[in-house]
Structure 1
């Protein structure tokens, strides 16, 4: 049936943003964004006009999305959701809940098919899960097909620095990053540059006090500072946490074994053995976790990583650290009695630069810096060196298409070039190259302790999230804290704990293989052989080193940063 022609006045009304919508957009741009955008004022208006037009079919809809509670998502929930609602007429409710709760809701929707949320911000650590179960919309096809009419022409996927983390081996993008932060080394720059500390350290250890390149140097520095009195208080050379709690799992799945050198070479993740110690074959099917099947979860390098964690926690951290969880331990370095921390998330940067706290100078500059993580004795060039968290927008196939489209508009709005620079100044969790290079961050860099320099450096590619070797992140991740918690508490030796962990992982892999729910991408476990068989092969698992404390190496922080800029 032919469609009747619309009067010219109606056509114009449909193709032109309403005065009210544009007024809301301009008010948002003027009062909230100001000069903090990588786009010009005119480009910002055009981007907002596109959102207004694209949102018209969904005006009045009530859309629910969810993310974990961090500063970046609080800004999205409290400021950007309200602005989006006023500008587009789509009513957004952006819930903030615990990270574990986000995964639980996602799992429930996967298992039941019930549309609980219209979009999720969940870590790209689930890329292996999403790719294998095929219960989320792959965004590559979505943007060219069903979601083409609601995909912004200024989205610029290549501008997202973590897009490789959300791209599966099929070259499809499954998630859109909205916040990203790294797990780096943190230290008291002022104490490391104190002449007496430098002289005392050189006299005791025979080399210069500086940023530790390897764990040997980190250990010496931890020993040196622990028990010293600085500014009238006893200080510690290390900070960590050890309570048997789900957050203890993150402490290890967030690439601790890769820092030790347990996995294989490969960026963003080791192949065939990743930082969880899981081996895959040439078809990307998981084939084992224990050494008997070619995995490395219970290998000498993995056991070494656990032993060092426990040793340092007991010897060099405040006594109460062993009973702390992640959230309790995080604020401790800002209190001013910790010299360094090997496992420190840049998401804490905003809390570390507040005026008046012990680790900030009177002029607002930090007394601390962040630097690349030191590496363990088994680490080799070409391996990943640490972890990056990439919280990313995910659209479930069980979400009705119109609701998914409206949610996708919101996801693009909060990651848009118009918004991203301002959002990044609030949360300090970069996702766009254009934002990292923005002049406003050049000006702010001296007060951010090396964050900007790191993200502008070539080094950043060695930090990456969990990769596609992990076939079911929710099922496997929970095994880590339960088993490593036994080592942390002293109930098991590090070897016993890692033996139990790899066996538990293989039980899950075996169940997935038998169920066949992941098709040809699912696990296909190797036949068991002796550990010696695999230890004689190239790569991971690696045989035990005769010397797990090689020569300590440090580097001058200022020279390190200078080398990046050159």
Structure 2
């Protein structure tokens, strides 16, 4: 019956016999398209690729489940369909960035296409070394641009578009950092009674940092053990290592409320503490109107250090990002304020200590609690968007062949199946599909998050960071002195802000242009603190009363 149905569909598509496409139709299920529509897309790729048959192209991306699926399943099927062989390399995030930067600077074609984090968008549009995809699709790449690509179906376009409205990167995967907690522990009557007796309000999902801190103290210092196992109320990592930079630059300061109101990034001061005039960054220190050494920034980093030392496992202080990522699967962590949803696939295995006998999660993800300086209209957290990126130094024919491969990975024929594997959705048609909705129970809140408008409040680094690789290294070098070496936070943040100013000035001199950094004159910090918005003066009380909500009530915040 299946073969007969496929033959009819393929015949309707004007092709020869349906079994030509059966391997792809079998693998790429479910799909938001009908089988006939899938056949039509597959046939388009087969025809469009004919001038490039026999070519071998090289792609590179970071090491997450989504990209493993692309490299091991999608790339071979693309080759079988088109005759274009793809060497899709999987590497560390730092390595991908270094190779991309090297290719941009030297003009040597190491790779034909990159999955580059949209965090680099500020440098991409200023460098003018990245292919403008809006123009490419209309001109040199028109013949190899999928008619059914449906750009407006992508949910992360705001993060990969330059200030002039042109698309520079095509979203391939995205995931957010959300609050994670052990729902089964939070629902135990004895623990609920004990918490309320001590703190005076219900044990539930924390809305603010005060409640998060109380819950961290509760599990670490009051509960201490559950079912015979030592437990902790917080998890993080603190080794002075490059990965520490992601921990802080990935919106930790905006969660505290350091920056200004505005989406996708604060205006005029963003979550890095950088002030901009128009498209031009003008400073990060309070003396230049920035906020990186402001009371809100000091509050944010002091809380990070204090919680790490008081409430996390002692070994966490010497852990890196990759080492800390697997810790909550051991079943001894009550909550984590900052947890990447890219790990959901790994944390849903049935034999883990955090899933029940049916393989369903004992945990949930929820809206991130907010710090004392946070205000409505600010971003609520970080969302990583890895996006297909072409470099101008790549020869045109190789760009065109690589563009076909990139589109194949995100075409509607493929994207829903890829979403179900990697859980890093990129299309509205996928997140609103029945297949995705049906996985709600096993994904612990991920479906609800991506089906809501709240996902727009979780955003990547924005356009006003003019050179992400050059500036991002400052974070771990300075913050590590507090987390790993125990130095005083106010002095560290003052030095970090000054170093960020110097780095911005250097970038502006080396790469002059209408949107290049240009520091404004230094003034007394008190003058800027008296202005509305960020930098914000120190609050009299940085720990207001703790507030929690039941999970069902919090999910209502995510309703469209």
**Normalising TM by the smaller chain, what interval?**
over 0.9
- Asked whether the 8 Å contact 2:290–2:534 carries over to 1, the reply is yes
Match of residue 404 from structure 2 = 409
Q: How well do the aligned residues superpose, as a CA RMSD in angstroms?
A: 1.4
- Asked whether the 8 Å contact 1:17–1:53 carries over to 2, the reply is no
> What is the CA–CA distance in structure 1 between the aligned matches of 2:508 and 2:242, rounded to whole Å?
26
Match of residue 545 from structure 2 = 551
1:526 equivalent to 2:524? Answer no
Give the SS at the match of 1:236. coil
TM-score calculated relative to the size of structure 1: 0.95
1:444 equivalent to 2:439? Answer yes
Match of residue 4 from structure 2 = none
Match of residue 268 from structure 1 = 264
Cα displacement (A) at 1:26 = 2.5
Cα displacement (A) at 1:441 = 1.4
> What is the CA–CA distance in structure 2 between the aligned matches of 1:564 and 1:66, rounded to whole Å?
34
1:310 equivalent to 2:273? Answer no
Of 49, 70, 80 in structure 2, the residue corresponding to residue 76 of structure 1 is 70
Cα displacement (A) at 1:452 = 0.3
Match of residue 473 from structure 1 = 468
1:499 equivalent to 2:494? Answer yes
Q: What pairs up with 1:20-59 in 2 under 5 angstroms?
A: 23-30=19-26, 32-34=27-29, 36-59=30-53
Give the SS at the match of 2:466. coil
Match of residue 397 from structure 1 = 392
Of 157, 161, 180 in structure 2, the residue corresponding to residue 163 of structure 1 is 157
Aligned residues: 546
Of 376, 380, 392 in structure 2, the residue corresponding to residue 381 of structure 1 is 376
> What is the CA–CA distance in structure 2 between the aligned matches of 1:149 and 1:470, rounded to whole Å?
34
Deviations 1:331-373 (A, max 9, x none): 1111100000001000110111101111101112110000010
Q: What pairs up with 1:80-229 in 2 under 5 angstroms?
A: 80-227=74-221, 228=223, 229=225
Distance 1:84 1:518, change over 3 A: farther
1:330 equivalent to 2:325? Answer yes
Give the SS at the match of 2:193. helix
Of 236, 243, 261 in structure 2, the residue corresponding to residue 240 of structure 1 is 236
> What is the CA–CA distance in structure 2 between the aligned matches of 1:425 and 1:231, rounded to whole Å?
34
- Asked whether the 8 Å contact 2:186–2:204 carries over to 1, the reply is yes
> What is the CA–CA distance in structure 2 between the aligned matches of 1:564 and 1:255, rounded to whole Å?
19
> What is the CA–CA distance in structure 2 between the aligned matches of 1:487 and 1:422, rounded to whole Å?
43
> What is the CA–CA distance in structure 2 between the aligned matches of 1:300 and 1:346, rounded to whole Å?
30
Match of residue 420 from structure 1 = 415
Of 331, 335, 341 in structure 2, the residue corresponding to residue 340 of structure 1 is 335
Deviations 1:517-559 (A, max 9, x none): 2411101110000100110111111111111001211110022
Deviations 1:135-194 (A, max 9, x none): 001111111111111111111111111111001111111101101000000000011111
> What is the CA–CA distance in structure 2 between the aligned matches of 1:383 and 1:442, rounded to whole Å?
28
Cα displacement (A) at 1:25 = 3.1
> What is the CA–CA distance in structure 2 between the aligned matches of 1:243 and 1:457, rounded to whole Å?
35
> What is the CA–CA distance in structure 1 between the aligned matches of 2:15 and 2:39, rounded to whole Å?
13
Deviations 1:452-491 (A, max 9, x none): 0111122211100000110000100111101111111235
> What is the CA–CA distance in structure 2 between the aligned matches of 1:107 and 1:429, rounded to whole Å?
25
> What is the CA–CA distance in structure 2 between the aligned matches of 1:17 and 1:485, rounded to whole Å?
62
Cα displacement (A) at 1:514 = 1.9
Give the SS at the match of 1:173. coil
Of 530, 534, 555 in structure 2, the residue corresponding to residue 536 of structure 1 is 530
Deviations 1:224-264 (A, max 9, x none): 11142111111100000000000000000100000000000
Distance 1:82 1:308, change over 3 A: same
> What is the CA–CA distance in structure 2 between the aligned matches of 1:305 and 1:24, rounded to whole Å?
57
Match of residue 9 from structure 1 = none
Of 337, 350, 370 in structure 1, the residue corresponding to residue 365 of structure 2 is 370
> What is the CA–CA distance in structure 1 between the aligned matches of 2:559 and 2:281, rounded to whole Å?
40
Distance 1:563 1:534, change over 3 A: closer
> What is the CA–CA distance in structure 1 between the aligned matches of 2:485 and 2:319, rounded to whole Å?
16
Cα displacement (A) at 1:121 = 0.3
Match of residue 13 from structure 1 = none
Give the SS at the match of 2:130. coil
- Asked whether the 8 Å contact 2:318–2:484 carries over to 1, the reply is no
Give the SS at the match of 1:342. strand
> What is the CA–CA distance in structure 2 between the aligned matches of 1:109 and 1:135, rounded to whole Å?
10
Give the SS at the match of 1:179. strand
- Asked whether the 8 Å contact 1:132–1:518 carries over to 2, the reply is no
- Asked whether the 8 Å contact 1:225–1:237 carries over to 2, the reply is yes
> What is the CA–CA distance in structure 1 between the aligned matches of 2:35 and 2:351, rounded to whole Å?
36
Deviations 1:250-286 (A, max 9, x none): 000100000000000001000110000011002x100
> What is the CA–CA distance in structure 1 between the aligned matches of 2:185 and 2:60, rounded to whole Å?
42
Instruction: Choose 435-444 or 271-280, whichever is displaced more.
Output: 435-444
Of 254, 259, 271 in structure 1, the residue corresponding to residue 250 of structure 2 is 254
Distance 1:486 1:444, change over 3 A: same
Match of residue 297 from structure 1 = 292
- Asked whether the 8 Å contact 1:24–1:86 carries over to 2, the reply is no
> What is the CA–CA distance in structure 2 between the aligned matches of 1:565 and 1:133, rounded to whole Å?
39
TM-score calculated relative to the size of structure 2: 0.96
Cα displacement (A) at 1:563 = 5.4
Cα displacement (A) at 1:23 = 4.6
